[in-house]
Structure formats: structure tokens, C-alpha cells
Amino acid sequence: MPALRVIIATASPLARSRLARDLAALPEIDLCGSAADLSAIYMLAEQREPEIALIGRDMLTHPDFEGILSLFGMIGTACMEIATEPGAAAGDAAILPGMAPAALLARLRAVRAAATPRRLPAVPQPDSSTARAFRVDRVILIGASTGGIDALLQILSALPADCPPTAIVQHTGAAFSDSLIRLFARCAKARVLPAQDGIALSPGTIVVGAGCRGHLHLHPGTPLQTRVLPGAAVSGHMPSVDMLFQSALPFAGRIVAALLTGMGRDGAQGLLDLRRAGARTLAQDEASSVVYGMPRAAADLGAAEQIVALPQMAGAILSHCIEQRMEVARK
């Protein structure tokens, strides 16, 4: 039987060293490495694709750990908590440094046997009964926060390689921004780029503002360009969804904007301003939202032209970008 590939992820050097010692004593375990911060965890998991990740509570409770869990789901990594007290290790989903080797191995094998890779759900596509092409002037804007990483993975996986240019703000910390871009690139057919000045918003380009040091803006040009402009945090966020949406007001007739799951109100006012200026606007529904804060605020303001469940969101967005052509009359 092949050795189980395991990684350790905790900021505690004592827990890392004790667990590494325990695992090294088991020939059935291939210890792929250990990490002390989110970026290092992501890179280690990306490179080694472990079967099991032993994670400290200090990491599990970090707000940006959502992205790590999304990667684990994509590569089929089972996640187990590193307990710090004997009583906490009673459950099958916890590991305690210093456990008896037989008990440690049995627990790892049981968790691995129960784990299955998470597949992104199939996303309904717009009706293809007639010949269609994307309108050359359309630009997609998306804002998201808590729960948004998984939501964006579903949407981006459904966008075709030649999708309309897309700009996204996802709330996350600066330390995880590069890893998040790589995560989105794993599932997207189009090209995914981190937000920076001067990116041409051409078809097949997705620009992601996440943890960057300024607000992502649209800037006039042919095609439109991106800018990352310094300033104060808005609604507690840098970059802010509201700032992205409001920067698009001069081009509102070209915009399809969606506000996804997240805590707070960031993006709601910007979505309302876009709708009033002539953009097509959508918000995620409550049932499919992890946190129904931002989309609720948009719905309460009347900012969303459509309230859409996540599985239908990609199709709904694309339906506003498609130019329908006349069918050739059937004989």
C-alpha cells in the first residue's frame, strides 16, 4: 500500500516538530513538509497534493483559510485539526501530538478513507438553440467576500475561454492574494491576472483584485484599462467592490455586474448606482449564499435587477453578454 502523503500546517513550532517526529516514525506515512503561514501552506499543498493536511486551530480560524479549503476540495485533501489538549482529540477529526503510533495511523487512514474529491457542480449554460456571439462592448464585474472563493470557482469554471473581459474584487488578505490568483487560474479556461495598472480588458481576460494595495478601477481606453489606485479602505476593505463598481459608471451601458455572498454592505450602493446608470445588475440569492449580507443589502436597495441562485449565476451573467443572431429560416 502506498504511503499516505501528509502535510503539517500550524504556526506552533512545538506542534510542528512533535507531529513531524511522530509521523517520521511511521513507514506508512510520507511527510511531504510543514508550513507556518497561509501562503506556505497553499504552495506546499499545490506542489505535493497531499492526501491529508494536519491543520492547527490558529490556521483553521484565519479568515483567509477559506481559499486553502477550496484548494483542498479540488485536489481531494482531507483536513484534520491538530488538537492541543488530550480531551480535544476524542473526535475522529482531530490529531494530538504524542498519540500512540497505532492510534495515529488508524485515525489518519480512517479520515483518508472517508474523504472524496469535491467536484465543481455542473453549471447550466445559456440556451444554444440559436447561433450566438458575445457582444464586443460587454464587460463583466463581480464582487464577493465571505464564501465568495467557492462561488467564484463555480462561476469562473463556467466562463468560456473567450468570455467577455471580467474584473473581480474578492475580499481577502494581502498574504493570500497570489495563492488565490493561482487557485482561480486552476479552474478558469480564460486567462486570470492579478490586478495591476494598464491591463487591457480584452476578451478572455479575467483581472482579480484581492489583497492588493489599492482599489481596482476601470479606466477609459480601447479596450478599457485597469488601474490600481491608492486610497483609504472603503467599508473596511482594500480593494472595495463599491470602488470598482463606481469606477465603471461612465461605461454603465456596457456593464454586467454581479454581487455575491459576503458579510457587510460593500458593493450594494455601487450596484445601485450602476443599475440607475443603465447597467445590467444581479445579486446572489439567500439560499445559495454562505453569508447573505452584501447581496441582501443590494436587494434591499433595489440595486439588483435579478436575484439569482449560484448554480444559475454564470449563465445569467453570460445571457446579458450574448448577441443573438437571426436563425437561418428552416426549409
Which domains are present in the chain? 4-114 (3.40.50.2300), 132-324 (3.40.50.180)
pLDDT in tens, 305-316: 999 999 999 999
- Among the residue ranges 123-132, 266-275, 293-302, the one predicted with the least confidence is 123-132
In terms of pLDDT, which residue wins out, 189 or 128?
189
Q: Would you say the C-alpha torsion 159, 160, 161, 166 has a positive or negative sign?
A: negative
- Identify the active-site residue in 150, 266, 273, 285: 266
263: cell is: 458579510
Spatial separation of the C-alpha atoms in residues 54 and 83, rounded to whole Å: 10
pLDDT in tens, 111-143: 888 776 555 555 555 544 334 689 999 999 999
Residue 113 has phi, psi (to 5 degrees) of -65, -30
- Whether 294 contacts 259, CB under 8 Å: yes
Spatial separation of the C-alpha atoms in residues 111 and 52, rounded to whole Å: 8
Q: 171 an active-site residue?
A: yes
Mean pLDDT over each residue of the chain, to the nearest integer: 89
Spatial separation of the C-alpha atoms in residues 76 and 45, rounded to whole Å: 11
Three-state DSSP class for 4? strand
- Identify the active-site residue in 62, 171, 215, 217: 171
Pairs from 10-15 (Cβ < 8 Å, separation ≥ 24): 10/34, 10/36, 10/54, 10/55, 10/56, 10/58, 10/59, 10/82, 11/36, 11/37, 11/56, 11/58, 11/59, 12/56, 12/58, 14/97, 15/56, 15/82, 15/84, 15/97
Three-state DSSP class for 179? helix
Percentage of the residues of the chain whose pLDDT score is greater than 90: 69
In terms of pLDDT, which residue wins out, 66 or 209?
209
Residue 75 CB: number of other CB atoms within 10 A? 15
Q: 219 an active-site residue?
A: no
- Whether 142 contacts 166, CB under 8 Å: yes
For range 233-253, the mean pLDDT: 97
Q: Beta strands of the chain (E only): which ranges?
A: 4-9, 29-35, 52-56, 78-82, 94-95, 132-134, 139-144, 166-170, 191-194, 205-209, 215-219, 225-229, 255-259, 280-284, 306-308, 322-324
Spatial separation of the C-alpha atoms in residues 307 and 305, rounded to whole Å: 7
Q: Where are the alpha helices (DSSP H) in 120-230?
A: 148-158, 177-187
221: cell is: 481606453
- Identify the active-site residue in 145, 177, 240, 289: 145
146: CB partners within 8 A, 6+ apart? 63, 66, 171, 261, 262, 263, 290, 291, 293
Would the pLDDT of 217 be above 50? yes
Number of helical H runs and strand E runs in the chain: 11, 16
pLDDT the model gives residue 174: 85
Q: 319 an active-site residue?
A: no
DSSP class of residue 94?
Answer: E
pLDDT in tens, 70-101: 889 888 899 899 886 554 444 555 787 888 88
Would the pLDDT of 259 be above 80? yes
Q: Where are the alpha helices (DSSP H) in 64-163?
A: 65-75, 101-114, 148-158
Spatial separation of the C-alpha atoms in residues 258 and 308, rounded to whole Å: 9
Strand partners, 79: 53
pLDDT the model gives residue 328: 38
pLDDT in tens, 166-177: 999 999 988 889
Whole-model pTM: value is 0.85
For range 180-203, the mean pLDDT: 95
CA distances from 183 to 42, 68, 114, 201, 319 (A): 9, 9, 24, 21, 26
pLDDT the model gives residue 325: 47
Would the pLDDT of 326 be above 50? no
